[in-house]
Amino acid sequence: MSAIPATSRAAALVQPGQPLEIIDAQIPSVIEPSALLVRMTAATLCGTDIHVAQGTAGITGTGLPLILGHEMVGQIVTFGDGPRTDSVGQPLAEGDRIIWTHGMCGRCQACVINQEPSLCENRRRYMTESANSYPFLHGGFSEYGYVYPTAGRVRVPEDVPDALASAAACSLRTVMHGFERLGRIAATDTVVVQGAGPVGLFAVAKAVAEGAGRVIVIGGPADRLEVAKRWGADLCIDINDVTTNLERLSLVRELTHGHGAEVVLEMSGIPAAFSEGVDILRPGGRYLIVGQAHERTVPFNPSVIMHKQVMFIGSRSAGVDHYWKALEFLRAYADRFTWDDLISRHYKLDEINEAFEQMRSWNEIKPVIDFTQD
């Protein structure tokens, strides 16, 4: 490893709604016990990054400048005092690649009693602290990154590329957690996936791998639905062609003998998708809700829950075990799913605003900030 510089070039939000700016963020000279300093190799864009940059995700001016990015992979540069293993007991050394979680306290009821670290009462999230506050490197769009002492970390297998490992650190680990909460999928189940973004596409792969009898995707644009088809979706309903919820509901019911789907997966983040998903769900079905991370209110008659006797399942983020499971899922199904279909163009850090615009305009599925480019 080369000498560690005093500062790290990073893409930061300086003013909500304005392009990101490249700043020189301080690199901490003191690494806390159990913390790590990493040199970033890749960071992929997530829809949450877009919302934060636009100022629609609850971030206020008190946290500015804010280094964005929260799904990333990096090589270990420096260890703080403590064990040199990852969170599943694998040995770690300088130069190893890792993905890591937000900081989970490990001392609250959610972490210890309920075993629900994603509900940690004292969770320390990346992209929420100013680059002017120690340890300064609070986001992924930076040449160097800081792994909080309480953050889980998992060594990346050699056969998992940087871009896919980065995507596993958010989109795929979210899917792994959601399916765990959902429970078993039977060969007789029709699964409807709402949304064809990275989370929705990974959900298609997971549903196919779980042996679902039929997988239907509702979303767009067309190129993303083509990926879903290649990954095993039986039917893709393009919302640009089938424009009303009644038309889409009719198609699903036609394929399910009028009953609806046993399982609906809300992965789109669109408020109106919730009501549509409830309509699509058959009596006795299960509705996994992952994408509804907004502050909008939608009309809903709760008597539907009773009359249909359906189960609503919420799932938020993930624990470090799901990060490991995500990496293993990528490896186990590398011959079944063309994972590279998800990964679009690689950008340099200086090109980050172009990458944001390409994702914002639906031209790319998962842009990559590649720190290994010259």
d(CA 100, CA 89): 14
Cα 168 to its chain centre, rounded Å, is 7
Name the one residue in this structure whose structure tokens are 């930076």: 142
Cα 13 to its chain centre, rounded Å, is 20
d(CA 341, CA 366): 9
Backbone angles phi, psi at 328, to 5 degrees: -70, -35
Q: What is the pLDDT along the chain (374 residues), one digit of tens a residue?
A: 568 999 999 999 999 889 999 999 999 999 999 999 999 999 999 988 988 988 765 554 458 999 999 999 999 999 999 999 999 999 999 999 999 999 998 899 999 999 999 999 998 999 999 999 999 999 999 999 999 999 999 999 999 999 999 999 999 999 999 999 999 999 999 999 999 999 999 999 999 999 999 999 999 999 999 999 999 999 999 999 999 999 999 999 999 999 999 999 999 988 999 999 999 999 999 999 998 888 788 888 899 999 999 999 999 999 999 999 999 999 999 999 999 999 989 999 999 999 999 999 999 999 999 999 86
Residue ranges of domains in the chain, CATH in brackets:
7-156+342-370 (3.90.180.10), 174-314 (3.40.50.720)
* Cis peptide leading into residue 19 (ω within 30°): no
Question: For residues 208 and 189, is the Cβ–Cβ distance under 8 A?
Answer: no
Question: For residues 118 and 72, is the Cβ–Cβ distance under 8 A?
Answer: no
Question: For residues 179 and 56, is the Cβ–Cβ distance under 8 A?
Answer: no
Question: For residues 311 and 183, is the Cβ–Cβ distance under 8 A?
Answer: no
Instruction: Report the 10 Å Cβ neighbour count for 39.
Output: 21
Torsion of CA 114, 118, 122, 125, to 10 degrees: 170
